Amino acid sequence: MTDTNVTSDAAGFFTLGEPIADTKAPADVPVPQRWEERKAHAKLVNPANRRKIKVIIVGTGLAGAAAGATLGEAGYQVESFCYQDSPRRAHSIAAQGGINAAKNYRNDGDSTYRLFYDTVKGGDFRSRESNSYRLAEVSASIIDQCVAQGVPFAREYGGLLDNRSFGGVQVSRTFYARGQTGQQLLIGAYQALERQVAAGTVTTHTRHEMLELIVVDNVAKGIIVRDMVTGEIETHLGDAVVLATGGYGNVYFLSTNAMGSNVTAAWRAHRKGAYMGNPCYTQIHPTCIPVSGENQSKLTLMSESLRNDGRIWVPKKKEDCAKDPRDIPEEDRDYYLERIYPAFGNLVPRDIASRQAKYMCDEGRGVGPEVDGVRRGVYLDFADIIERVGRDTVEAKYGNLFDMYAQITAENPYEVPMRVYPAVHYVMGGLWVDYDLESNVKGLFVAGEANFSDQGANRLGASALMQGLADGYFVLPYTIANYLADSHERIDESHPAVIEAKKDVEERINHFLTVNGTRSVDSYHKELGHIMWEYCGMERTKEGLTKAIGLIRELKADFWKNVKVLGSAESLNQSLERAGRVADFFELGELMCIDALNRRESCGGHFRAESATPDGEAARIDEEFAYVAAWEWAGEDGHMPVLHQESLAYEAIEMKARSYK
């Protein structure tokens, strides 16, 4: 370990460790050939040996269910875990808009290279080229696989697949199933998983939450879970562990994530040695239904696909903001995205659309009800498209989204424009993995949103579903086989690492149930969320982040002394479940702020106010920050996290400023 990097804004909050590198991508061949090359030389496991090998998969969303189904088909013993009551309820199910694939069905010039290019550029040159290329490369097979499973994608009258375009790109490559694409893809993967349950290769453990990773000499050997119904603490040992546990956006309390989405599995792995990559990269989705009141528990997004046909505007004059939007004449409306970014208009990437919405509201030109003295909303207006193609056509395309909006807001979006505002949606950060999706803890693989590798500092719309399925169906089955082909020593439940992990879990649970404090878990979570949104949200400053770290530390200390969790450990206890997750969110939140503080540049979802161009656009600083920040856990309070840097080199694409003007 070397000295703290004294020039960093985060000096005093971390120490600098050895650089890190991905050693698995075949660097000696050009980027487009790397995946073929890797597959060609990956070791294989003979079919007779596969049934003796046990793979533990935590999470049953697109990545987890797809990996479970595929590894089950291959003949491995798969143990699949989820906290929900059924694998079908994983949060991938809520994705609305679509999934990208470089099929070029529209003859509009799409190709693997172009999808790769859009991904790397959209990620603001902070993703790994080799991973992003592979993602684009396997994308076409995903559509084939899903169609074969019976996923009812939208069709044209000729019977072929329909597609549409999404934010940040100029081709039409997004396949969709009305506004419920995530649901249909997940049902496909879930059905494939259940087929393997029937075949006896997969065992599902629903209502089970992973609370600890078992590691021996930096090799993952199994997990400790809690049966959320009986409270029993169980040990599951295996030859490899896959975490496909989604993102940690709920650190902000209010987000578009499901209520149960949490960071615990990934964070426990982090505490056992796995590096956390780029934790500060949070994607703010530009089109969510604005917050309506204090007791709100979550935010609902309106699919980005709506930006294809909806026009975004705010009044030009502040005094018009309280008016009925239909009474504001055309010349008094500011279609600000079309004005500032004429080439992309309403389809600029998410980070840009979000930030501009914030600026409009900060200027006092926001619309909708005042919450804490500010109107936080912009219009997403369908009047033009309804006039052009008719209400029926719009209804066929977006009907369910319009219904959902009406249900939540009690307003009719066919008649008055929708009101939208940015909200936390997806995280690009996650556990650090190499090209094989293996973390720096051997035998611990991380897939989908839970890893950091493919999306860079910003994720393009319709690329999350693509990554989940790519990792689960087409990447892990090869790379994990390469790991499993070598023999690995098994341990049994009497091993000291198992006993220790189990003891840690029990002590933690026991602590929560005996603190007997005065404040509910949710009240802490809300307060943490406020701090994160205020200081580590859409715009970050050195001063704000430094303040946030102090506030989080104080609140965390109070949480451990003063939280109130009722009930017992040996029963279904939802407050207890949340207490453990919030405890981990505190530690993660602190690391996110440190990461954001150190990255004194603006890129993608990370916007540092100190690093902007004269016209207010994000200014990246490639000379200093073209690296992945991989953070190592150093211990409890008082031990500073260690930063390992993986430098990013661009061979296939020239690194340049991202402009959508």
Partner 1 sequence: MKITLNIWRQANASSKGAMQKYDLDDVSEDMSFLEMLDLLNENLNEKGEDPVAFDSDCREGICGTCSLMINGEAHGPEVTTTCQLHMRSFKDGDTITVEPWRAEPFPVLKDLIVDRSAFDRIIQSGGYISVNTGSAPEANNLPVEKAKADRAFDVATCIGCGACVAACPNGSASLFLGAKITHLGELPQGQPERESRVVDMVAQHDHEGFGGCTNIGECTAACPKGIPLDVISQLNKDLRTAMLHGR
What positions carry a catalytic annotation? 350
Looking at this protein, which amino acid is placed at residue 312?
I
Q: Does residue number 564 form part of the binding site for partner 1 (CB under 8 A)? A: yes
Point out which span in 15-23, 31-39, 159-167, 350-358 binds partner 1 (CB under 8 A). 159-167
396: phi then psi, degrees, rounded to nearest 5? -65, -35
The type of residue at 234 is E
Stretch that binds partner 1, among 174-182, 319-327, 357-365, 490-498 (CB under 8 A): 174-182
| 265-294: contacts with partner 1 (CB under 8 A) | 292-293
Query: Which range of residues in 48-56, 331-339, 531-539, 562-570 is near partner 1 by CB under 8 A?
Result: 562-570
Give 529 or 544: the residue with its C-beta nearer to partner 1. 529
Binding test (CB under 8 A) with partner 1, winner from 119, 174, 183, 467 = 183
Helix (H, G, I), strand (E, B) or coil at 558: helix
Q: How far is the CB of 105 from partner 1 (least distance, A)?
A: 7
477 binds partner 1 (CB under 8 A): yes
The single residue among 522, 527, 558, 622 that binds partner 1, judged by CB under 8 A, is 522
Interface map 457-476 toward partner 1 (x if CB under 8 A): ----------------xx--
The smaller minimum CB distance to partner 1, of residues 278 and 303, is found at 303
- In the complex with partner 1, the residue whose CB is nearer, 46 or 295, is 295
Give how many residues touch partner 1 by CB under 8 A.
Answer: 78
At 598, the amino acid letter reads N
What minimum distance in Å lies between the beta carbon of 481 and partner 1? 13
* Tokens 């936080």 belong to residue: 376
> Is residue 566 classed as helix, strand or coil in its secondary structure?
coil
Residue 406 Cβ vs partner 1, minimum distance, rounded to whole Å: 10
Q: Does 203 bind partner 1 (CB under 8 A)?
A: no
CB-wise, 254 or 532, nearer to partner 1? 254
Q: Which stretch binds partner 1 (CB under 8 A): 18-26, 90-98, 107-115, 451-459?
A: 90-98
From 44-52, 108-116, 375-383, 570-578, span contacting partner 1 (CB under 8 A): 570-578
Give SS3 for 409: helix
The verdict on 47 binding partner 1 (CB under 8 A) reads no
Neighbours of 43 (CB within 10 A): 11
Instruction: Decide: is 198 part of the binding site for partner 1 (CB under 8 A).
Output: yes
245 binds partner 1 (CB under 8 A): no
Span interacting with partner 1, options 38-46, 297-305, 372-380, 420-428, rule CB under 8 A:
297-305
CA gyration radius, the chain? 24
Q: Report d(CA 253, CA 259) in Å as an integer.
A: 9
Instruction: Provide the minimum distance between the beta carbon of 298 and partner 1 in the complex, in angstroms, as a whole number.
Output: 5
| Interatomic CA distance for residues 485 and 472, integer angstroms | 19
Q: What are the structure tokens assigned to 325, written together?
A: 């939007």
Nearer residue to partner 1 within complex by CB, 176 or 585? 176
Interface residue with partner 1, options 491, 511, 575, 622 (CB under 8 A)? 575
Comparison of 474 and 625: residue with beta carbon closer to partner 1: 474
User: How many CB atoms lie under 10 A from the CB of residue 42?
Assistant: 16
Q: Looking at residue 33, what DSSP letter applies?
A: G
CB of 134 to partner 1, least distance (A): 15
Given candidates 85, 363, 370, 543, which one binds partner 1 under the rule CB under 8 A? 85
- Interaction of residue 195 with partner 1, rule CB under 8 A: yes
Exposure of 177 in the CB half-sphere (CA atoms within 13 A): 20
Output 5 or 409, the one with its CB closest to partner 1. Answer: 409
Is residue 73 a contact point for partner 1 (CB under 8 A)? yes
- Ranges within 598-637 binding partner 1 (CB under 8 A): none
Provide the β-strand partners of residue 445. Answer: 242, 438
Compute the residue count for the chain: 661
Q: Is 84 in the site for partner 1 (CB under 8 A)?
A: yes
Q: Which of residues 248-267 bind partner 1 (CB under 8 A)?
A: 256, 258-260
Q: Does residue 208 interact with partner 1 by CB under 8 A? A: no
Q: Can you tell me which of 88, 221, 376, 600 binds partner 1, judged by CB under 8 A?
A: 88
DSSP 335: -
What is the DSSP secondary structure assignment for residue 473, as one 8-state letter?
I
CA 74 → CA 70, 245, 312, 632, distances in Å? Answer: 6, 22, 48, 34
Q: What would the 3-class secondary structure string for 475-538 be?
A: HHHHHHHHHHCCCCCCCCCCCHHHHHHHHHHHHHHHHHHHHCCCECHHHHHHHHHHHHHHHCCC
Member of 104, 111, 440, 523 binding partner 1 (CB under 8 A)? 523
Which DSSP symbol is given to 639?
P
Within 10 angstroms of residue 119's Cβ, the number of other Cβ atoms is 29
- Measure CA 199 to chain center: 32
Q: Which of 50, 54, 103, 126 binds partner 1 (CB under 8 A)?
A: 103
Q: Is 653 exposed, middle or buried (0-12, 13-18, 19+ CB in 10 A)?
A: middle
CB 450 within 8 A of CB 244: yes
Spatial CA neighbour of 342 closest among 47, 661, 632: 661
What part of residues 306-345 is at the interface with partner 1 (CB under 8 A)?
A: none
| Of the candidate residues 408, 499, 609, 657, the single one contacting partner 1 (CB under 8 A) | 408
Based on the shown chain and the rule CB under 8 A, indicate whether residue 159 belongs to the binding site for partner 1: yes
Using the minimum distance from each CB to partner 1, give the nearer residue, 82 or 505. 82
Among the candidate windows 241-249, 325-333, 334-342, 567-575, which touches partner 1 by CB under 8 A?
A: 567-575
Residue 192 makes contact with partner 1 by CB under 8 A: yes
Residue 497: closest CA among 569, 438, 441: 441
Q: Which of 6, 40, 48, 160 binds partner 1 (CB under 8 A)?
A: 160
Name residues whose C-beta falls within 8 Å of residue 303's C-beta, 6 or more positions apart in sequence: 96, 97, 179, 287, 398, 401
Q: Does 520 bind partner 1 (CB under 8 A)?
A: yes
Q: Is 70 in the site for partner 1 (CB under 8 A)?
A: yes
Interacting residues with partner 1 between 119 and 158 (CB under 8 A): 141, 143-150, 152-158
To the nearest whole angstrom, how small is the minimum distance from the Cβ of residue 564 to partner 1?
Answer: 6
Rounded Cα distance, 603 and 599, in Å: 9
CB 451 within 8 A of CB 67: no
Summary count for the chain: helices (H), strands (E):
18, 22
State yes or no: residue 163 binds partner 1 (CB under 8 A). Answer: no
214 to 267, 340, 519: CA distances (angstroms): 13, 52, 32
By the rule CB under 8 A, 412 interacts with partner 1: no
Q: Are 87 and 60 in contact (CB under 8 A)?
A: yes
Which helix H or strand E contains 640, and what residues bound it? none
- Judge contact between 512 and 580, C-beta under 8 A: yes
Minimum CB separation from partner 1 for residue 11, in Å? 40
Selection from 159, 189, 171 nearest residue 90 by Cα:
189
Q: Is 448 in the site for partner 1 (CB under 8 A)?
A: no
Compare residues 42 and 154 and give the one whose CB is closer to partner 1: 154
